[in-house]
Amino acid sequence: MLIKRSTPHHPTERDVTPEAVYQDRRLILKGLGLGTASLAFPAQASLLDLFSDEKAAPAPATKEIHYKAAARPEGVTLTPLEKATTHNNFYELGTDKGEPARNAHYLKPEPWALKVEGEVAKPFTLDVWDLINKTELEERIYRLRCVEAWSMVLPWSGIALADLIRRAEPTSRAKFVAFETLYDPEQLPGQASSNLGGGIDYPYVEGLRMDEAMHPLSFLAMGLYGKTLPAQNGAPIRLVVPWKYGFKSIKSIVSIRLVEEMPPTTWNLLAPNEYGFYANVNPQVDHPRWSQASERFIGEGGIFGAKRQPTLLFNGYGDEVASLYQGMDLRKWY
Ligand code: MTE
């Protein structure tokens, strides 16, 4: 991927590095004697670590989880696990698609506390591993459509977001839900390095309107393909909102705060003309720099050569969610 390292980096449809180009870049960096001076990495994340497979500590192993399996829908091709764990957006672990997997070992997802707070009668802090170990999670097969015009279909396991929010007893002032990713540059080295982390003002934040958050499709995933989440996919707990562009699906969440006002969101802060608060998948509303009319489905073959398919309004979940936006001009509220 060609990254404009000096300015905040946000995705382009071309943000996919062919393996050969990536390997070339690794060789160049090695040949340059790892010109680290220009790259402001935190002490514990040297360039050597990031570009040396030999030195990389293994990422925490994923564990089997209990979940109620979903029926595999007929005629739907799932994205293989290997693709879903090596083609990622998790800028805190690197902006290249392969970097989050290579840097996964930095993130220590156990133990993990998640707060549910704000405009609620009963705020609480939850041990996410209690939730994983003591709940029968439900499996959902969801399409995830990235703003970069690629998509995947994956079996996630978790719980409805509404279940967790209800436990905190929202007050009548709760109009929006604000989510926050862990802020810890030792575990998420991109937070301390604009080179690695794309110049984003961390922690990564996202938001939903209250009715969107309470919608039965909104899901807190703790598993993928029947095992706990790999770090690069947002361990140990991440959001999946299948009718919105992938960037709404915030990873490695530590706080869910119910609030009165529309909360700030990372990509909207970075480029408000490109990324709105709603971010509903919509083939008729192009990203200012590329069309959203079609997408490449990442299946067996990966993104190169992947068949283009038409993008569906609300990512195909219109029957379930279109009523949330009745009367809204979706060109204005993109
Ligand atoms: N969450 C955090 N904390 N940081 C990120 O960079 N990227 C988002 C979203 N959640 C991101 C994040 C984007 S742009 C996408 S497309 C999805 O995660 C990708 O999820 P996946 O890597 O599991 O496919």
- The CA 242 to ligand 1 mean position distance, Å, reads 13
Q: What is the pLDDT at residue 20?
A: 36
Q: What is the pLDDT of residue 165?
A: 98
- Whose alpha carbon is nearest atom 24 of ligand 1? 88
What does the pLDDT profile of the chain (334 residues) look like in tens digits? 223 333 445 555 444 333 333 333 333 223 322 222 222 222 223 333 344 444 567 888 899 999 999 999 899 999 999 999 999 999 999 999 999 999 999 999 999 999 999 999 999 999 999 999 999 899 999 999 999 999 999 999 999 999 999 999 999 999 999 999 999 999 999 999 888 999 899 999 999 999 999 999 999 999 999 999 999 999 999 999 999 999 999 999 999 999 999 999 999 999 999 999 999 999 999 999 999 999 999 998 877 778 899 999 999 999 999 999 999 999 999 9
Q: Is 181 in the pocket of ligand 1 (CB under 6 A)?
A: yes
pLDDT of residue 42: 28
Residue 43: per-residue pLDDT: 27
- Nearest protein CA to atom 14 of ligand 1, as residue: 247
**pTM of the predicted protein model:** 0.86
- Residue 251 beta carbon below 6 angstroms from any ligand 1 atom: yes
Give the Å distance between the CA of 247 and the centre of ligand 1. Answer: 5
Indicate the top mutation candidate among 85, 86, 90, 253 to test ligand 1's pocket, ranked by most ligand atoms within 8 A of CB. Answer: 90
Cβ of 90 less than 6 Å from ligand 1: yes
Span 19-325 CATH architecture: Alpha-Beta Complex (3.90)
Cα 258 from Cα 213, distance rounded (Å): 10
Q: How far is C-alpha 241 from the chain's CA centre?
A: 10
Q: Is the CB of 146 under 6 A from ligand 1?
A: yes
So what's the pLDDT on residue 256?
A: 99
Q: Which long-range contacts (CB under 8 A, 24 or more apart) does 38-43 make?
A: 38/195, 39/193, 39/195, 39/196, 40/192, 40/193, 40/194, 40/195, 41/189, 41/192, 41/193, 41/195, 41/196, 42/185, 42/186, 42/189, 42/192, 42/193
Going from the Cα of 94 to the center of ligand 1, the distance in angstroms, rounded, reads 11
The alpha carbon of 248 and the centre of ligand 1 are apart by a number of angstroms equal to 8
Cβ 196 under 6 angstroms from ligand 1: no
